[in-house]
């Protein structure tokens, strides 16, 4: 049994890790870390866990956790892990970080978008960006995995094959996305109250959302050159789910014709044909968040607009699963040599 | 592998059976029965099932199903199974009926409350009422199980021990309940449109809801005499969940004192102390539907009101799981000699 | 023009007062009191008010307000007004208190249920309980009106005529109610976050909710004797609306028969036949919160259960309007001799 | 008093007309037209109208309505009005059409996107496109007004000044929008059931939504040349509201610099500085649907992205008010020489 510790187990992503690991055949949570609820039973806070654990929450002490655990998941605010992680800890334990501290390989970019100084820049180099479908082999050997953001997972995977195959002009890429409110975390803030969110659609972080450079970093890898995009997130009145609607101009081929549906589908097939967690829909079909709720799937669809020579790509994930805890478990499975799907094969829950 | 057929697989309860059985180690669905979608891929209707099955829907032909299946689940409108079920079918296959046709042992009561003639009254006698925690032993030997209604499962289990132990006066019992909208089914009806349900609480079936005699039947068994109650359901703007708030006057003991918290808790412990799926909460704690969502659990809490000498009991279930498909799987497990929990051990999904 | 000041204008009830008074022909808000947002534009917090006011929020200084205003509405936490109100203030200005400080005429009852000492018990006597349909004449002459609670307005009005006419036994009265989340206020608390409320029904304050003695006080007046009831509120996943489902045993008449539908309807007609804001539904019709949303109406329906000899009464209001700000305006209209309906005649908003 | 008839009064847009006209000082509904509910009381279907009208629904007989009414609103499926409207009717009565039949001046475009033959093409020429802020003067003299679509009202108004002033390249314009579910109408269809919409975001009509040519028609007028855009609508789990997020590349001026915030704001001020119903937000502020709910306002905000030289414009309306019934009343006010705001000055309802 893999012994897992969770720093920040009482946030939504942390609690989703608890849920997923409760159904995992080869791992168990032995340390429910929390800042606010030390000493309280985890199942008294997340009462869905009644009967699954009688453990109390413990302090978020990463050094002690490193002694007892095989893997530590950190579901913490930005800057926390960056300030406490050391080479010494990484010698003892695998770390899968759900925060952004090690996602961006370029430290000035991190410091600019997050507005904080990076306290352990020397560790960034060894961190592997944990988007499993893109970096699987490196993840297997990683000690430190930077689990991707929720919007980024969805946005990158939806566009990646078309960028990589040169079918679209990445400079024209626009990502317009909506997220369920669990993505905003469990902090007690007025904007996240029921009455403020319900019956409302609102944009936020327009032109400056922190997931932007992360999307750009990975699509730049795909394009082989620097990519700059527009990304606009919106808060939707639902608990879970991210839908990313992406627009890009098709690149004409040498003979002046534009890639057609077959060409686009072939690109998706090339990259995702063997991926269990990516379900590329038949041409014309569009994903919806309800069809992935509670699961680690990414549903992707696309339509070509002959009038504008653009392709509209749409991706859907559950922000707490493939966008956070599920991908973290997938990363753990890779690191520990397990079947990548272990603990993640439940059918999405609908309605 | 138990071969399962589902009549009405494309309703919400039927589709939930598909989801639960997809995670069941010893059973598989081999017949996705449907009235409206014959020939269409099940996963094209319930797109959460993409990648889990490529089967097409077949006609609801219970006789042919009996040849191919070990168990048939019928998630159909009232009156359907009653009109097609025969002794011959029951010789070949186990039948778990999610409709009301065999729940009421008294046929005139059925015909009065449902307003239809019972077409196979001779089969009612051998049907076992499939509330597992109350009739476990009989279910093991049953050929025909009448899977309880959603409201009834929650309402009965919440009050049963207190009625059986004589702690409350059953004539004073009032059940006030709210249900998520999946309980209304997937029929295209104006009252179930999003805009009609959202931002609304409404009572319905006041004094004449069909689950009333079913609750009375079981509580009469508990009381050892005829029990008549008030039951009022409400439609709540959410997908899943039933919350039943129940009121009853405590019965004073010989010395004129009233049962206290310990006495009530002892009654619950006596009946449910060993039940995996029933989580009796500590005194003063109240259940909420979110803590059981997606699971087969029944959460029960209570508070005694010293001022009025009443006890307020509250129960919560997921109407599609313990209130329908989950309990049906639990019944199947019992009939086929499996561990009762097989396929039903997932932690509730929150948020 | 009546000059109105609002203490606590940036809470949900306060902001609803702003909305209603913006449509009032004879009153205007001249003081937007706030604790947290002093100096900020009201319309920068409640952006629906953009274009309606460019006033900034001012401190909650009730003494200064008394100099400038004709009427002060206090939408504040319990205990606040009780600690600052004086005879001197009441000589200068009318006060309509949306908190509970002056609702209960019995001070020990207040102190027991609210757990705080009453700081101005001498003023309680002159406060008029502002349930307009019951105390209209006294309100006209009041200097201090205790605006009723949201649950209480709905619960009392629904049962009042039947209690007053002796048709039901008040000792058997059970009030089971659900409220939209705006009733919980705009404080930043985890239990009121979107993800905690959405997809959930939960009971709270079971046996000890503070609106209980308020309901009992008024129904005791109706009954002419001390009435003790059970009241159970629930939080529903919607913004606005209260639905109260009430149960009581019918009292047989001298000849042993029970009151019938006509008798019950006659009682409602007697008390509410001329009330604009109370819409008694035809027998068998049930109210729903959506039909009163945004309005000052109270919809009331009932059904008699011949089996149990109980009547089930159901009332629906908008908790922010008839349950708070709308009734406060209705009280203001009465005090200032205006048509009681002024500013309150908008049709409910659906969907 | 203007006598108004409504064809399709029992749909959501028709019923919103009833609500708005109930608060209108100079108009009254004298004909509640319906297809499905002839003979039934309007207030028995839309129970929010209880106490406001006791009229029964009448057949949708436009010829008879023309005899009795001063204005007819048609809130009907596409193709209906086109097949029954005649010059003779227009001589007797003003017609404000909430369907699409007369919105597109180019008949082949109508027939292509709507897939139906236009039955009265000769009347198209005299129809005025009823986007009040753009065509106010023509509307005053119109006999037939084509009330704009909900998405189109929001999408056009948000981009219009920037297109008209040449600040953005219209060929780069992408409109990504979300709508509340009332926009889907009150038809009994499975995709609009509560459980299908709740907890879901879905795109639909991608590349082929019928509002596309309508947006293009008006923005082509602004640009002085043919404009082709991408428009992607999404269904959001809420009752009301449209949010349109629009992207376009800024056009550099002669000196190679790009329009800045002041330049964009100046364009909005130029077109909307005197418009009551358009609230242009301060730079950096973004609209949200909750701030316009129940009202005729259009909130517009924008942000320039220096990195990509694009401007992101966001508009928000209530789809049933400014997107349908409210704008129809605004058009009626213009035609009958009333103050344009009559009956439309209520503050938006929040929460």
Of A201, A232, A247, the CB nearest to D288: A201
B347: its two tokens: 């932690």
D48: its two tokens: 């929010």
What pLDDT does B70 receive? 98
DSSP C292-311: TTTS--EEEEEEEETTTTEE
Nearest to D200 by CA among A289, C222, B229: A289
Interface touch C197/A194, C-beta < 8 Å: yes
Average pLDDT over residues D284-298: 97
Interface touch A239/C196, C-beta < 8 Å: no
Half-sphere exposure of B261 (CA within 13 A, CB side): 12
CB pairs under 8 A between A and B: 77
Chains linked to C by 3 or more Cβ pairs within 8 Å: A, B, D
Active site residue D69: no
d(CA C5, CA C21): 11
The tens digit of pLDDT for each residue in B235-268 reads 999 999 999 999 999 999 889 999 999 999 999 9
Of D241, D288, D312, the CB nearest to A230: D312
Most distant pair of Cα atoms in chain B: their distance: 69
Domain boundaries, chain C: 2-126, 151-319
Residue of D nearest to A349 (CA): D199
Given a cut of 70, the residues of chain A with pLDDT beneath it are none
D86: confidence class by pLDDT, cuts 50, 70, 90 = very high
Nearest to D213 by CA among D280, D146, D277: D146
What pLDDT does D341 receive? 98
Interface touch A202/D308, C-beta < 8 Å: no
To the nearest whole Å, the CA of D319 is away from the closest chain B CA by 13
The tens digit of pLDDT for each residue in D233-281 reads 999 999 999 999 999 999 998 899 999 999 999 999 999 999 999 999 9
What pLDDT does A322 receive? 98
Contacts of C188 in chain A (CB under 8 A): 188-190, 193
Nearest to D249 by CA among B129, A169, A85, C212: A169
Beta strands in chain B (DSSP E): 2-7, 27-32, 71-74, 94-97, 128-129, 144-146, 174-179, 202-203, 230-235, 242-249, 278-280, 298-305, 310-317
| Correct CATH for B2-126 of 3.40.30.10, 2.40.30.30, 3.20.20.60, 3.40.50.720 | 3.40.50.720
3-state secondary structure B73-85: EECCCCCHHHHHC
Of D195, D201, D229, the CB nearest to A243: D201
Nearest to B157 by CA among B296, B327, B326, B315: B315
C153: confidence class by pLDDT, cuts 50, 70, 90 = very high
Name the phi and psi angles at D250, rounded to 5: -70, 145
DSSP D171-188: GG-EEEEEE-GGGG-S--
What pLDDT does C95 receive? 98
Contacts of C89 (CB under 8 A, 6+ apart): C62, C63, C66, C95
d(CA B287, CA A179): 28
Nearest to C29 by CA among C63, C70, C64: C70
Place of tokens 């007819």: D72
Residue of A nearest to B295 (CA): A48
The tens digit of pLDDT for each residue in D56-84 reads 999 999 999 999 999 999 999 999 999 99
The tens digit of pLDDT for each residue in A262-288 reads 999 999 999 999 999 999 999 989 999
Do residues C62 and C4 make contact, with C-beta atoms less than 8 angstroms apart?
A: no
Beta-carbon count within 10 A of A141 CB: 9
What pLDDT does A137 receive? 98
The tens digit of pLDDT for each residue in B93-114 reads 999 999 999 999 999 999 999 9
Q: What is the ipTM score, two decimals?
A: 0.97
Q: Where are the alpha helices (DSSP H) in C146-298?
A: 150-164, 194-197, 211-223, 261-272
To the nearest whole Å, the CA of A183 is away from the closest chain C CA by 10
Q: Which whole-number Å values give the CA distances from C228 to A233, B229, B309, C217, in the listed order?
A: 52, 22, 11, 9
> Which 8-state DSSP code applies to residue B219?
H
Average pLDDT over residues C279-287: 96
d(CA A91, CA A72): 12
User: Exposure string (b/e) for D137-175, b if CB count within 10 Å is 16 or more?
Assistant: eebeebbbbbbbbbbbbbbbbbbbbbbbbebbbbebbbb
To the nearest whole Å, the CA of B228 is away from the closest chain C CA by 7
Place of tokens 């203007």: D2
Q: Which whole-number Å values give the CA distances from B108 to B113, B116, D255, in the listed order?
A: 9, 10, 90
To the nearest whole Å, the CA of B223 is away from the closest chain C CA by 17
C70: confidence class by pLDDT, cuts 50, 70, 90 = very high
To the nearest whole Å, the CA of D25 is away from the closest chain B CA by 29
Residue of A nearest to B182 (CA): A351
Which residues of C does the annotation mark as catalytic? 150
Do residues A67 and A44 make contact, with C-beta atoms less than 8 angstroms apart?
A: no
Nearest to A87 by CA among A69, A109, A63, A65: A63
What pLDDT does A204 receive? 98
Beta-carbon count within 10 A of C231 CB: 27
Of B188, B198, B238, the CB nearest to D188: B188
Q: What percent of chain B has pLDDT over 70?
A: 100
Contacts of B79 (CB under 8 A, 6+ apart): B99, B101, B114, B116, B119
Q: Among D158, D199, D241, D244, which would you mutate to test the A interface (most chain A Cβ atoms within 10 Å of its Cβ)?
A: D199
Interface touch B192/D193, C-beta < 8 Å: yes
Which residues of A does the annotation mark as catalytic? 150
Task: Classify D316 as helix, strand or coil.
Answer: strand
Q: Which whole-number Å values give the CA distances from C195 to A187, B351, D202, D203, in the listed order?
A: 11, 6, 20, 23
Do residues D212 and D260 make contact, with C-beta atoms less than 8 angstroms apart?
A: no
Interface touch B194/D193, C-beta < 8 Å: yes
What pLDDT does C97 receive? 98
Average pLDDT over residues B290-313: 98
Contacts of B201 (CB under 8 A, 6+ apart): B178, B234, B235, B236, B237, C178, C236, C238, C241, C243, C288, C289, C316
Interface touch A190/C189, C-beta < 8 Å: no
The CA-CA-CA angle for residues C301, C307, C310, to 5°, reads 45
C42: confidence class by pLDDT, cuts 50, 70, 90 = very high
How many helices (H) and strands (E) chain D has is answered by: 13, 13
Report the CATH superfamily, name and number, of domain C151-319: Dihydrodipicolinate Reductase; domain 2 (3.30.360.10)
Interface touch A290/D203, C-beta < 8 Å: no
Average pLDDT over residues B37-55: 98
Partner residues linked to D298 by β-bridges: D278
C322: confidence class by pLDDT, cuts 50, 70, 90 = very high
Beta-carbon count within 10 A of A30 CB: 17
B274: confidence class by pLDDT, cuts 50, 70, 90 = very high
Residue of C nearest to B284 (CA): C206
Do residues A21 and A329 make contact, with C-beta atoms less than 8 angstroms apart?
A: yes
Residue of C nearest to D351 (CA): C239
Interface touch A200/D238, C-beta < 8 Å: yes
Average pLDDT over residues C54-82: 96
The answer for A128, left when phi > 0, alpha when psi is -120 to 50, beta otherwise, is: beta
- Indicate the angle between helix axes C211-223 and C107-114, nearest 10 degrees: 150
């Amino acid at each position: 049994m893999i012994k897992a510790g969770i720093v920040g187990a009482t946030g939504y992503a942390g609690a989703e890790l608890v849920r997923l690991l409760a159904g995992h055949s080869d791992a168990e949570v032995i340390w429910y870390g929390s800042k606010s609820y030390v000493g309280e039973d985890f199942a008294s806070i997340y009462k869905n866990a009644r009967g699954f654990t009688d453990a109390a929450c413990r302090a978020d002490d990463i050094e002690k956790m490193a002694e007892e655990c095989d893997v530590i998941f950190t579901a913490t605010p930005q800057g926390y892990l960056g300030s406490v992680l050391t080479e010494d800890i990484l010698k003892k334990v695998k770390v899968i970080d759900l925060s952004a501290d090690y996602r961006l390989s370029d430290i000035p970019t991190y410091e600019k978008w997050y507005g904080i100084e990076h306290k352990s820049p020397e560790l960034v180099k060894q961190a592997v960006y944990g988007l499993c479908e893109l970096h699987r082999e490196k993840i297997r050997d990683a000690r430190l995995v930077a689990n991707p953001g929720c919007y980024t997972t969805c946005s990158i995977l939806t566009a990646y094959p078309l960028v990589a195959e040169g079918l679209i002009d990445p400079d024209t890429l626009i990502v317009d996305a909506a997220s369920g409110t669990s993505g905003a975390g469990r902090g007690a803030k007025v904007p996240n109250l029921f009455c403020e969110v319900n019956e409302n659609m609102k944009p936020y972080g327009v032109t400056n959302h922190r997931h932007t450079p992360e999307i750009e970093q990975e699509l730049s890898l795909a394009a082989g050159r620097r990519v700059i995009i527009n990304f606009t997130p919106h808060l939707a009145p639902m608990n879970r789910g991210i839908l990313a609607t992406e627009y890009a101009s098709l690149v004409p081929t040498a003979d002046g014709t534009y890639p057609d549906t077959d060409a686009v589908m072939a690109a998706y097939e090339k990259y995702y044909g063997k991926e269990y967690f990516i379900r590329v829909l038949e041409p014309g079909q569009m994903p919806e968040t309800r069809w992935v709720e509670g699961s680690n799937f990414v549903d992707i669809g696309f339509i070509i607009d002959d009038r504008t020579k653009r392709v509209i790509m749409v991706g859907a994930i559950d922000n707490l699963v493939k966008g956070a805890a599920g991908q973290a478990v997938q990363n753990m499975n890779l690191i520990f040599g397990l079947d990548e799907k272990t603990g993640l094969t439940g059918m999405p829950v609908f309605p």
